[in-house]
Chain A
Amino acid sequence: MTFAIEARNVEKRYGALQALAGVSLAIAEGEFFGLLGPNGAGKTTLISIVAGLARASAGSVSVMGADVSADYRRARRMLGVVPQELVFDPFFTVRETLRIQSGYFGLRGNDAWIDEVMHHLDLTGKADANMRTLSGGMKRRVLVAQALVHRPPVIVLDEPTAGVDVGLRQGLWQFIRRLNRDGHTIVLTTHYLEEAQELCDRIAMLKAGRVVALDSTRNLLETFSGLVLQLRLDRDALPEGIGADVLAAEGGQFTLRLRGYNALEDVLHQVRQSGAAIRELELQPADLEEVFLRVMEKH
């Protein structure tokens, strides 16, 4: 089977710093994959190695079966990368930028596709504007367009929505989702965990250069998060030996983490038995932020 991206025991050292300490991942074609982790976990380093911007100290990476160093030409044709930094060339207009980027991939006469990409990203009106004159959000869209000029089957977005307003974020995700439906593999890093939860089929979490969790989004939510119960009682203490993790307790207000709905019944039973009365109760479903914090705590 050919993976969209396959990393095998990838290590990266910068002098004494071990940025990646043996990362192995296989992302299937057509997946919407999330790469999460705190700052400095190695996400951008891993993406840089996949893109050929950095070289692995050990291990290997391939894109659609093409090794990123031995067969770099094929690997890079298969890959579109939206870099994290808002970079642009101040000498050119939007259209020139996209034509030039297209030409770097050996594509000439690519205007029909460039027009289409500009249309979907709402850039048509700015086609002849110099890059310097664009707002941050517009520059971000051009970066996305640049990553797509050569119609790559695999698209990597490194924090594409950092500092982007809500309207653009929605539009961007709509477009990226469409690309995914059309068969493109999407790899996303983001600090907005609700975005990752909503969009990604599967998630890898990195910490200190290692993969500390790798599973489908649903499994991660079920395994790690469970439910969060907000409870207000008529007294300041919970019953002894309550069957849940206490996340916070202040006054009569308690936040408990439950494994599932069975645990809820047990907790309520214990509260009733202790003679306490419930003033307020709120149950929150699993969320990725909770999963993320727990995974990071554990490792």
Chain B
Amino acid sequence: MGGFPTLFYKELLRFWKVSFQTVAAPVLTALMYLVVFAYGLGDRGSAFPGVSYSQFLVPGLVMMSVLQNAFANSSSSLIQSKITGNVVFMLLPPISYVEFFAAYVLASMVRGLVVGAGVLVATVWFVDLSVAAPLWVLAFALMGSAILGALGLVAGIWADKFDQIAAFQNFVILPLTFLSGVFYSIQSLPPLWQKASHLNPFFYMIDGFRYGFFGASDTSPLASLAMVAVSFALLSALCLRMLRSGYKLRQ
């Protein structure tokens, strides 16, 4: 048995030890969004028949939390290890680059899913929500968290300082999630922006995830799943290549 189970466990333990900040805080943030958008701004209805705006919003908020936290986990863990220098403890043992990738991405998925589940459970008190196709929900939650976990790992490998991770979060992750249809259906956008949204991989994650709840979506869930799977494959290939070459980790 190699070092994978321990590295995975260490990554879980790391965020669990500060779960107030890594789990409770993002759940609270998502609830604030729900309060402000669904109640504060009034129920505006949704693009799907029989679905209220607050019902429409919840899956978007859940998925947004899954994605942001999966990214935050791998990126912040690795950049901290690099800056404090303790990454050396993971580079000295015989841990292969595939094990390294798997441990970081899986732990990020767990964090994303735990926060997502937390948001879902918290919002159940406010919003009446049913799940039409649970397997789609699960598939998109898993794929979405895996993609962002891998993206976080890429960012963590590439970045040399915390600023760069923050910039990645604020200038890439945040706009892509906000403009992916978390808060609105892209059907309500002008045609040009609808087209533009189709270039955003986050749109497919959220749209497919939402399909699992309502059985309705802007794009067919199969097409979304294909887009998401291709994104994951490309990103994983990039990340594994970086790890194998030792880019910025081994001189």
Report A's interface with B, CB cutoff 8 A: 14, 48, 51-55, 72-74, 76-77, 79, 81, 83, 85, 87-92, 96, 100-106, 108, 146, 150
Residues on B with C-beta less than 8 A from A105 are 3, 93-94
Q: B86 contacts A53, CB within 8 Å?
A: no
Residues on B with C-beta less than 8 A from A101 are 89, 93
Residues on A with C-beta less than 8 A from B2 are 106
Indicate with 1 or 0, residue by residue over B6-18, a CB within 8 angstroms of chain A CB atoms: 1101100110011
B164 within 8 A of A: no
Q: B6 contacts A104, CB within 8 Å?
A: yes
Besides the known contacts A54-B251, A104-B6, 15 further A-B residue pairs in the complex with CB atoms under 8 A apart? A51-B92, A52-B250, A53-B92, A76-B93, A77-B94, A81-B92, A87-B89, A89-B81, A91-B17, A100-B6, A101-B93, A103-B6, A104-B90, A104-B93, A106-B1
Q: A76 contacts B94, CB within 8 Å?
A: yes
Q: A53 contacts B89, CB within 8 Å?
A: no
| A170 to B2 alpha-carbon distance, docked (Å) | 36
Q: A14 contacts B251, CB within 8 Å?
A: yes
B88 within 8 A of A: yes
| A91 to B84 alpha-carbon distance, docked (Å) | 12
Residues on A with C-beta less than 8 A from B85 are 83, 85, 87
B246 within 8 A of A: yes
Indicate with 1 or 0, residue by residue over B58-100, a CB within 8 angstroms of chain A CB atoms: 0000000000000000000000010011101111111110000
Residues on B with C-beta less than 8 A from A96 are 13
| A51 to B86 alpha-carbon distance, docked (Å) | 15
Residues on A with C-beta less than 8 A from B91 are 52-53
- Closest residue on chain B to residue A75 by CB atoms: B94
B5 within 8 A of A: yes
- Closest residue on chain B to residue A99 by CB atoms: B6
B107 shortest CB reach to chain A, Å: 13
Residues on B with C-beta less than 8 A from A48 are 251
Residues on B with C-beta less than 8 A from A51 are 92
B69 shortest CB reach to chain A, Å: 17
Residues on B with C-beta less than 8 A from A108 are 1
Indicate with 1 or 0, residue by residue over B219-251, a CB within 8 angstroms of chain A CB atoms: 000000000000000000000000000100011
Residues on A with C-beta less than 8 A from B18 are 91
Residues on A with C-beta less than 8 A from B246 are 55
Most buried by A among B10, B18, B81: B10
B111 shortest CB reach to chain A, Å: 14
A3 shortest CB reach to chain B, Å: 20
Q: A103 contacts B94, CB within 8 Å?
A: no
Q: A73 contacts B92, CB within 8 Å?
A: no
Q: B89 contacts A104, CB within 8 Å?
A: yes
Residues on A with C-beta less than 8 A from B7 are 103-104
- Closest residue on chain A to residue B246 by CB atoms: A55
| A52 to B250 alpha-carbon distance, docked (Å) | 8
Which listed residue (B3, B86, B250, B251) contacts A103, Cβ 8 A? B3
A125 shortest CB reach to chain B, Å: 22
| A113 to B59 alpha-carbon distance, docked (Å) | 50
| A107 to B188 alpha-carbon distance, docked (Å) | 56
Q: B251 contacts A76, CB within 8 Å?
A: no
Residues on A with C-beta less than 8 A from B1 are 106, 108
| A146 to B85 alpha-carbon distance, docked (Å) | 15
